[in-house]
Chains A and B, each alone.
Chain A
């Protein structure tokens, strides 16, 4: 059997994430990220073979099939352009679809991009659509995830303020990332704890902001990785899994699809002890408690023990063994359709040594992760500074 083509991240481009990018249209926002990714890759639009684009469902901004009108802005006229839909995990899945086009040798260089313009949308209410066969009672994503977090707290016996510690840590990390939306230099831990309850047990400060923004990457084959002027990140493993969000016996806290996705991606990357072998982690944490929950599900921590890595500072950039979300994470920037790709792109920046002030010294292998829907769609990759 012929093996897959080695795939490299040649360039990364991000916009500054903010509540409202009133100065640009959706097309302008995407083009800004795409330009920066191409600049980083030292390439031009004309050298790109295809474009793979992802965003949250169309009814967020109310623009139907935006990939069609964005083709011009992304230099994709006359080229294949592909749209990916996997709810909140879409940024990650989009990067993986782009990678598959390289791995399968269909294309040599692919531009991939995820975006959201939440200022032209209302995500909470877009996620609270009334359905004829049930009562309208769920208030957005927080309403959905709050019971799952409550269940984790109960079964793990974690101290009540672990979620606040995650939120405070990620906001501190964000101060080192110029692209992060929230730069709350004056924020104190007490203010996080005292912030109002929105979806008990989730406080206001334990939730992600609503952001405008786009993130893009240029992926290339082995030859283009070898020829790149800037350092590249080599893809060591890619995996996607999904499951239904409501079935008898479902473990909502630690979904089977998440466990199987992690097992697959680490097996591909030859990793047997993720905690020891991975140097930097970008996981999708839109609500603070999902940091310890995913650390357990992904195999970085024993079951019901993930919160201890938060408590003892293991996940902090300040000397922790496994710095998690050095960029500030989803808790500091959430342009939904881009949020997954930001995780993947930040993981790549770490092993390229290009993460700036939030760089983990000497990072060789890193992990990017996204989840979506009712914690039912998963996308993950492992990237390294060396070829696999």
Chain B
């Protein structure tokens, strides 16, 4: 260990690249994916919401101010800053408030073939929508106001998760007029 190591000065010193790799493109950057695993502890209303999914039930919260129903239930009406404790059970039927035909794959969803339809699902009796996959028909047939119902996983596969609903399929019922579909159907003066 007698050899001394002069401090490296790559900027001032010409670097000799070995003959064998001279034709190879220089590495300028590397991709190094990182992963962070953590436990998620939902708030009490969301815990109840997720547990009810395992029984194929969907819960919402009704605002004490004007009766608007929120799903998922968060325990508050963010418009008025008031707590909500009135739980309502919602049917697994509703309409497509709006949608996107997506041609890009999503990481972690290798099961989805592109293009697929992600839609804002507005359950009957709810006044906000949440995202869901629409399938069981041609993508071209999906439209604003289309009536849909949930297709659930098999009983033995049910867990405490919204993923219990595999997708939403058309019911064949008459569609809702576009003006009355989605969040915009709510009357402010109600």
Chain A interface (Cβ < 8 Å from any Cβ of B):
20, 22, 62, 119-120, 124-125, 128, 130, 132-140, 142-143, 146-148, 150-151, 154-155, 196-200, 244, 246-252
Query: Do A136 and B129 form a contact, CB below 8 Å, given A154-B144, A197-B101, A251-B184?
Result: no
The reply to whether A137 and B72 form a contact with Cβ atoms under 8 Å apart is no
**Most interface-central of B100, B103, B161, B182 (chain A CB within 10 A):** B100
Complex contact B118–A197 (CB within 8 A): no
A196: shortest Cβ distance to chain B, in Å? 7
Chain B contacts for A247, CB-based, 8 A: 78-79, 128, 183
Q: A247-B183, A250-B184 are in contact. Are A200 and B101 (CB under 8 A)?
A: yes
Query: What secondary structure prevails in chain B residues at the interface with A?
Result: loop
Residues of chain B in range 96-150 having any CB-CB distance to chain A below 8 Å: 97-109, 115, 118-120, 127-133, 144
Q: Which of A124, A139, A154, A251 has the most C-beta atoms of chain B within 10 angstroms of its own C-beta?
A: A139
> Cα distance A199–B144 when bound, in Å?
16
- Note all chain A residues with C-beta closer than 8 A to B108: 130, 136
B13 at the interface (CB under 8 A from A): no
Q: Do A244 and B79 touch (CB < 8 A)?
A: yes
For B72, the chain A residues whose CB sits under 8 A away are 133-134
Inter-subunit contact A125/B130 (CB<8 Å): no
Shortest distance between the CB of B118 and any CB in chain A (Å): 4
Interchain CB contact (< 8 A) of B183 among A137, A146, A150, A246: A246
A197 in contact with B129 (CB, 8 Å): no
Contacting pair B184 A249 (CB below 8 A): yes
- State whether the Cβ of B22 lies closer than 8 Å to any Cβ in chain A: no
B147-175 to A contact mask, C-beta < 8 Å, 1/0: 00000000000000111010000000000
Q: Kindly state whether residue B29 has any CB partner on chain A within 8 Å.
A: yes
- Can you list 24 A-B pairs, Cβ within 8 angstroms, ordered by A? A132-B42, A133-B49, A134-B162, A135-B132, A136-B109, A137-B109, A137-B133, A142-B104, A143-B100, A143-B118, A147-B119, A148-B98, A150-B99, A151-B98, A197-B101, A199-B101, A199-B104, A200-B115, A244-B78, A244-B79, A248-B183, A248-B186, A249-B127, A252-B184
B23 in the interface (beta carbon within 8 A): no
Give the total of B residues in contact with A, Cβ under 8 Å: 48
Q: Given the complex, which residues of A lie within 8 Å of B118, measured CB to CB?
A: 137-139, 143
Q: Is the interface of A mostly helix, strand, loop or mixed?
A: loop
A133-B104 CB under 8 A given contacts A22-B29, A138-B118, A154-B178? no
Look across to chain A and name the residue whose beta carbon is closest to the beta carbon of B33.
A122
Of the residues B103, B120, B187, contact of A197 by C-beta under 8 Å: B103
Evaluate contact between B103 and A140: CB separation under 8 angstroms: no
**Interface presence of B88 (CB below 8 A):** no
Which partner residue on chain A sits nearest B50 by CB separation?
A133
**Other-chain residue from B50, B98, B127 in contact with A150 (beta carbon distance below 8 A):** B98
Residues of the A chain whose Cβ atoms lie less than 8 Å from the Cβ of B87: none
> Which residues of chain A have C-beta atoms less than 8 A from B130's C-beta?
134
Q: Which residues does chain A contribute within 8 Å of B104, judged by CB atoms? A: 124, 139-140, 142-143, 198-199
